[in-house]
Amino acid sequence: MLSELRDKVNFAIDPVARAFARAGFTPNSLTCIGLIFSLIAGVLFGISQPRFAGLVLLMCGFFDIIDGAVARVSGKVSAFGGVLDSVVDRYTEAVIFIGIIFGGVPELGQYGWLWVVLALVGGFMVSYIRARAEAAGSGKLSVGIAERAERLLILGVGAMLNLTGYAVVLVVILTYFTAVHRLVTAYIRLR
């Protein structure tokens, strides 16, 4: 959903991406900077500082957008860069959710950790279904309402509002809906 919006706002993102490219940042270095921000967010969640974690998480999302834009505007799109970006995305989600589990989500009671695990698995499945279906020949499978950008935005804003647990529940619902939507779409396309 936000990935479609990203294509429409490239006119605003491209100048920022060009500035990063001129400053000497490579797409892969920006991907790694995003990973560092996710580690910081995970630690902040772990020490029960959700508002700061949410802010840092939004910074992580910024670097997730800008790394691909720098690759595009600088002509440095590469197969390895795509692989690195996907791997870092999975680690980013894992670190964030592990931090949330460690810090706790009291508004969800003693089984709050289970909601967080379900959110982590749901996020991984959304990405895995897309990768597997596209490898099988489905074409670009970016359907659904809970791609990674949406999940980061929900968690970041929810944490800044001190509603992390509710944001996690929303991520669970949306990721499983998106996973089913992608499976159905893949089935139709690959029949």
Which residue, 150, 135, 133, is CA-closest to 184? 133
Question: To which residue do tokens 């996020």 refer?
Answer: 123
At 46, list the tokens. Answer: 């772990």
At 139, list the tokens. Answer: 């074409």
Concerning whether 85 is annotated as a catalytic residue, the answer is no
Q: How many CB atoms lie within 10 A of CB 141?
A: 19
Cα angle: 55, vertex 61, 62; to 5 degrees: 95
Contacts with 183 (C-beta within 8 Å, 6 or more apart), sequence order: 129
Question: To which residue do tokens 């508002």 refer?
Answer: 51
Pairwise CA distance, residues 50 & 171, whole Å: 16
Which position among 64, 67, 85, 89 bears the catalytic label? 89
Question: To which residue do tokens 């995003």 refer?
Answer: 34
Give the residue numbers marked as catalytic: 89
